[in-house]
Amino acid sequence: MNWTNDDDSALWLVRHGESTWNSLGLIQGHADGPTLTEKGRQQSAQAADRLRGGAIEAIYASDLVRAQETAAFVGTALGLPVRYDRALRERCFGVLEGLPMSTLDPGDSGISGDCVVDASARPEGGESLDELYKRAGIFVEWLVVQQHTGDVVVVTH
């Protein structure tokens, strides 16, 4: 996949469906306990339906359960296997995972409102936005050299 002007292939980004922890307002990060709610399964099925019939040739997903469950809907609908990669995980929030979202402050997250105020801020045991950006960038660089000729779906957070 080279994403140049003469290439009609596309990268489809799909966020996992609503999880049990989303519905409870809890910080998820790398926690692998959250699974999809009924609403999340419906959202995943809808995303899969929207992608059906396209020129998709590959599906990649985070290895966390909530993303795996969403990707399974997409893979089944498209008749394609899903390849899992740790690089597609949500940002790690360390000791804050499992706590209410209301406990996450800008000093830990580096985010205030909808703005990044400190990309190097990190919660104890977690990762900074800079580290997340680097991890995601490495995956995208790797994906580009795979030279897919059709569309690619990435299911992440």
Enzyme catalytic residues: 16, 90
CA distance 85 to 131: 16
Residue 104 gets which letter from DSSP?
-
133: amino acid identity, one letter: Y
φ and ψ of 36, to 5 deg:
-70, 140
**Residue 117 CA: distances (Å) to CA of 31, 132, 150:** 25, 15, 37
